[in-house]
């Protein structure tokens, strides 16, 4: 299985997606997105705010926070600038789904507990929570995918400013055709993008939110794919609705 990979001092054992063919995000457009930082790497993965103490992300973004310091940064737009709305909070435990497979990327979902709660009242236009979905998105549903990941389908360029792209959900049967993923898109996964390629998420967007267009309802998590924006290989995302019971029971 060919997966996109993230680099964080060493290669992590997972895949990642990026924003290719997207646009600059506006201030406050995605108040629920956070990026994860270490002492040496900025925005190595993304996540989304569930509430003041919990972040939703991808299991392949896991880090052992007992041995090193990792942080979640909310309210950011341009990585190199400080706009006064940023909140930087040290991560506590990273809780991967117990059935996560690094080989197939099935159950690629993780909860991150923060050591200190985010303030979701002072800057609600810049820092706010997502809503969990009430159903899986149907084929054709328009979704926004946001992140600071690579913007090139061939080559590497990581943007300073948050990007997003709006793409449709694709039927799983279409993604699983023999000339596409050939059955590798499993339960708990959704495809979002175009079969002809051209627009996609990419390296550095891993763990970030896929939301219903123009809303804060999260239906997907950036997970994996073959390359970025390649024909027949749209992005594959964790289906958030499939895991709502696990999310709620774990937080409780």
Which residue segments constitute the domains of the chain, with CATH numbers given?
31-129+244-251 (2.40.10.10), 142-241 (2.40.10.10)
Amino acid 123: pLDDT: 55
Could you tell me where the beta strands, DSSP code E, fall in the chain? Answer: 7-8, 10-11, 17-20, 23-24, 33-38, 45-51, 54-57, 70-74, 87-96, 110-114, 142-147, 163-170, 189-192, 200-202, 209-212, 218-224, 235-239
Q: How confident is the model at residue 155 (pLDDT cuts 50, 70, 90)?
A: confident
Amino acid 108: pLDDT: 98
**pTM metric for this prediction:** 0.91
Give the SS3 label for residue 118.
coil
Gap between the Cα atoms of 22 and 107, Å rounded: 27
* Averaged pLDDT for residues 112-124: 87
**Over 50: is that where the pLDDT of 248 sits?**
yes
CA angle 68, 72, 76 (to 5 degrees): 140
Amino acid 18: pLDDT: 44
Gap between the Cα atoms of 127 and 196, Å rounded: 35
Amino acid 33: pLDDT: 97
Amino acid 124: pLDDT: 64
| pLDDT one-digit tens code per residue, 60-92 | 999 999 999 999 999 999 999 988 889 999 999
Name the average pLDDT for the chain. 91
* Averaged pLDDT for residues 26-42: 94
Determine the distance from the C-alpha atom of residue 237 to the mean position of all C-alpha atoms in its chain, rounded to a whole number. 8
Q: How confident is the model at residue 95 (pLDDT cuts 50, 70, 90)?
A: very high
Amino acid 2: pLDDT: 37
**Over 90: is that where the pLDDT of 194 sits?**
yes
Q: How confident is the model at residue 122 (pLDDT cuts 50, 70, 90)?
A: low
Catalytic residue annotation: 60, 108, 206
Gap between the Cα atoms of 112 and 178, Å rounded: 36
CA distances from residue 123 to 51, 106, 128, 246 in whole angstroms, order as listed: 14, 35, 8, 29
* Averaged pLDDT for residues 98-116: 98
* Averaged pLDDT for residues 236-242: 98
Total residue length of the chain: 252
| pLDDT one-digit tens code per residue, 162-178 | 999 999 999 999 999 99
Q: How confident is the model at residue 56 (pLDDT cuts 50, 70, 90)?
A: very high
Task: Tell me the percentage of the chain whose pLDDT exceeds 70.
Answer: 92
Q: Which of 40-44, 55-59, 151-155 has the lowest mean pLDDT?
A: 151-155
């Amino acid at each position: 299985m060919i997966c996109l990979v993230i680099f964080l001092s060493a290669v992590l054992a997972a895949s990642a997606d990026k924003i290719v063919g997207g646009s600059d995000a506006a201030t406050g457009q995605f108040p629920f997105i956070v990026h994860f930082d270490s002492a040496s790497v900025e925005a190595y993965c993304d996540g989304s705010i569930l509430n003041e103490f919990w972040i939703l992300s991808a299991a392949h973004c896991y880090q052992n926070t007992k041995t090193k310091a990792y942080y979640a940064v909310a309210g950011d737009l341009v990585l190199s600038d400080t706009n006064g709305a940023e909140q930087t909070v040290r991560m506590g435990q990273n809780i991967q789904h117990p059935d996560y497979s690094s080989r197939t990327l099935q159950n690629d979902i993780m909860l991150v507990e923060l050591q200190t709660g985010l303030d979701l009242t002072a800057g609600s236009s810049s820092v706010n929570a997502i809503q969990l979905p009430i159903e899986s998105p149907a084929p054709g549903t328009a979704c926004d995918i946001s992140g600071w990941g690579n913007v090139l389908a061939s080559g590497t360029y990581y943007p300073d400013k948050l990007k997003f792209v709006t793409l449709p959900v694709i039927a799983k049967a279409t993604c699983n055709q023999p000339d596409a993923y050939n059955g590798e898109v499993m339960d708990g996964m959704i495809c979002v993008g175009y079969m002809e390629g051209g627009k996609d998420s990419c390296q550095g967007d891993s763990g970030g939110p896929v939301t219903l267009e123009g809303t804060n309802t999260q239906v997907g998590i950036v997970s994996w794919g073959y390359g970025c924006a390649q024909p027949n290989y749209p992005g594959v995302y964790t289906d958030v609705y499939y895991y709502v019971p696990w999310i709620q029971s774990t937080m409780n």
